[in-house]
Amino acid sequence: MVRPRSGIGFKQRGVVYTGVRLPDGRRWVRPVAIIAPPPPGVELGVAWARAVGLQLQARFDRGEWSPEQVRSIVVSDPLLPTAPAAPARSATTIPAIDRSARKAAASATAPTRATEPPGETVRAWFERWLNDRAQKGLSTVRTDRSRFRSHVEPVLGDKPVAIVSKADIEALVSVLDDATRAGQSWRTSWNGWALTRAMFRDASRSKTVALRVRSDNPCDGVAAPDRGTKKVKQYISPAEFLSLVRSERVPERFRVLYTLAVYLYARPGELEALAWEDLDLERGTVHIHRAVHYDTGAVKPVKTQETRRFSVEANLLPLLRALAHGKKPDERVVPDGVPKNSAELLREHLRLAGITRSDLFASDATRKPMTFYDLRATGITWRAIRGDEPLRIQRAAGHTGFDTTQGYIREAESVRDGFGEVFSELPAALLVANAPTG
């Protein structure tokens, strides 16, 4: 006799999850607060998650729903009693949740009539909006899709985009806040909110006329999700940097890459697109005007759409001249590019170089581990510590707003004393390893 399936529902680190079992035996799970928030009077607990999971499983088994296209599961009537179920009397007693789960399964297997709401749905409009962004070369398309599926689609996906109301947006914010209280990072919730605001801004006043489907923005006047503690940016000290680029345990290719990232403080995509023709080694300047798209590898304009030219750090020039020997103008300065797993590799190389400061590796409520992008933050912080003129820092870093630059300046003011010499001479071994031969 085949044992009937029970719904997936469990609690881990304060978050209640629901999901389905896939044909290959794996489980697909998501926070139930995002997939199907319980109706009033029903506790957001494991019992509710199991009942929801059973409905999801039934629809998945019938081919009506797929985890690849996350959709909210609409539960019109509470499936669970508001009072706690009585504990099992013996190993063979079926808990109350299983009775509710079987009730949900019976309901889910009954024939249903699809009632598509009138007008283009948020889900369908989002696909047109995303295609428009892709044609413009925006690099956030991949993350936009992921954030939509995780945060926006379960709540708004089936609603007609033209009549989404302020109350609907407030409901979405409530779901995001619930997920944050259940353990989701507040920044993750804010990413979902930022995407929602961008979508409905363009739904009302996009430059692409075909995307304008409403005369107002329902996000206007809606309070944003709750904020949590802002995690500090990570950066390495001059002593740690020298230990990293001196270490023979770190491959020479990466020691050069880390040096360029700190001393040019360019974004990873900008560094990857940099060609020798962008460097004037006689005058000691660099022109950053393009970047490599993270997903496609295509060359695109820089993030801010504003190119910048600034002086190269004097102690970087000997290495650049050595690397440039015999290179063609259109060859890239970093021919192997920036690896996709650059963050993990950097932390591994820091450990190999004997750098074990806990702040560089911790991941908790107030700290995030060091990433390759933080080498850019290192260079900008060093300039602020050196006391460079703030507007020069802003220009070289490519910050559109001075508030961003001010964050680095405030950090520099608190750590300047005893920090060490920034942008010092590079180790002779690194220069010799890249010196031209013959």
Q: Output the pLDDT for position 63.
A: 80
Residue 298 CB neighbours (<10 A): 11
Q: 244 with 258: CB under 8 angstroms?
A: yes
Distances (CA, A) of 241 to 116, 196, 335, 369, 410: 59, 40, 22, 16, 22
Cα gap 159→161, rounded to integer Å: 6
Sequence-separated (6 or more) residues with CB below 8 Å from residue 220: 166
Which amino acid type is present at position 389? E
Q: Which residues of the chain have pLDDT under 70?
A: 1-6, 13-14, 68-118, 437-438
Q: What is the pLDDT at residue 103?
A: 47
Q: Which tokens in the block code for residue 365? A: 């409520």
Sign of CA dihedral 241, 243, 249, 251: positive
Q: pLDDT tens digit string along 340-393? A: 999 999 999 999 999 999 999 998 878 889 999 999 999 999 999 999 999 999
pLDDT for the residue numbered 311 = 96
Question: For 238-433, CATH number?
Answer: 1.10.443.10
Q: Taking the model in full, what pTM does it have? A: 0.64
pLDDT at 251: 95
303 contact partners, CB below 8 Å, separation of at least 6: 139, 267, 269, 270, 291, 398
Model pLDDT, residue 94: 29
Predicted confidence (pLDDT) per residue in 202-259, tens digit: 999 999 999 999 999 999 999 999 988 777 778 999 999 999 999 999 999 999 999 9
Give CA–CA dist 411/420, Å, rounded: 15
The rounded distance, in Å, linking the Cα atoms of 226 and 193 is 11
pLDDT of residue 68: 63
**Measuring CA to CA, which residue among 162, 170, 187 is closest to residue 222?**
170
Going from N- to C-terminal start, the domains of the chain cover: 8-109, 122-211, 238-433
Name beta bridge partners: 310. Answer: 286
Within 13 A of 42's CA, how many CA atoms are on the CB side?
20
Task: Say how far residue 338 (Cα) sits from the centre of its chain.
Answer: 18
| pLDDT (0 to 100) of residue 227 | 87
Amino acid, single-letter form, for residue 145: R
